[in-house]
A = this chain, B = another copy of it.
Amino acid sequence: MLRVVIIGSGNVAQHLAKAVERSGSATLVQIYARHAEKLAFIVPEDKITASLNNLAEADMYIIAVTDDAIAEVSSKLPFEGRLVVHTSGSVAMEQLDSKNRRGVFYPLQTFSKNKDVDFKKVPLCLESEYENDYVILEELANALSDSVYNTGSEQRKALHVAAVFVSNFSNHMYALGSAICEENNIPFSILNPLIMETADKVNTLSPIQAQTGPAVRHDQKTIEKHLDFLKDNSRKEIYKILTQSIQNTNG
């Protein structure tokens, strides 16, 4: 059984820890957290350490901390020549300290507290400094997910930017829609079927084919009515720039 140590206690670390524990074919040996209380009820207490110097022996160390802290944490590891990976979409593998064998284990998903994720469906994007290590990364990835990809640094960077658009920015569109509902005493839940159907459509249609609404219809009357309705300047600006972009993209 692959022995895994996770370093970090945020959303990615927690979801990953649960997935390893549940996999049955890899063992979570230990998890490092400066604040152990964040992991209460997620992993057994005796698996948590608050000191990097106490890190247990393992086949793989997964650094799941904020992007800015990855380089520093990796340089503080008190050992050499072991397999150390990070989970970030946008940090180069080379940011990891070169005293260890480096790699990337990037789960392409959005993780929130209090929202379970079916890890089997999470695409895992792998990268390794040495070919032999790729086999180890792949073994863990296959134990956790049905969807494993070998991506180079450039592709991973592109994927991360694409992910910001399809996930972070889409979610912000939901936030703006929700604010408009709230201001007009409409329950946001009325929009849920529309949100789910919009997401579901691009499983079978390309987003270009799936585009509907006043922008793609060049329905200038409705567009002007909407701009008139939006009193907030920032929302007006977003409405204009996205309408323009839809018209440029869809023709």
Contacts and interface: CB of A to CB of B under 8 A. Distances in A.
A181 B158 contact: yes
A185 interface: yes
Contacts of A194: 108-110, 123, 163, 166-167
Interface stretch (A41-49, A96-104, A131-139, A209-217): A209-217
A219 B157 CA distance: 15
A107 to B, nearest CB: 10
Contacts of A79: none
A164 B214 contact: yes
A230 B49 CA distance: 40
A2 interface: no
19 contacts: A66-B217, A90-B222, A110-B201, A110-B210, A112-B212, A147-B193, A151-B186, A165-B239, A167-B198, A169-B242, A171-B202, A172-B207, A173-B173, A175-B246, A176-B245, A178-B207, A179-B249, A196-B203, A238-B241
B175 A207 contact: yes
Contacts of A245: 172, 176, 234, 238
Interface string A7-45: 000010000000000000000000000000000000000
Contacts of A226: 90, 160-161, 164
Interface in A37-87: 66-68
Contacts of A181: 158-159, 162
A203 B197 CA distance: 13
Contact of A201 (B171, B177, B193): B171
Given A67-B222, A170-B198, A171-B207, 20 more contacts: A67-B219, A68-B221, A90-B222, A90-B226, A110-B213, A112-B210, A114-B205, A115-B204, A151-B186, A163-B194, A164-B213, A166-B194, A167-B194, A167-B197, A175-B207, A176-B245, A195-B199, A195-B202, A234-B248, A238-B242
Contacts of A176: 162, 165, 245, 249
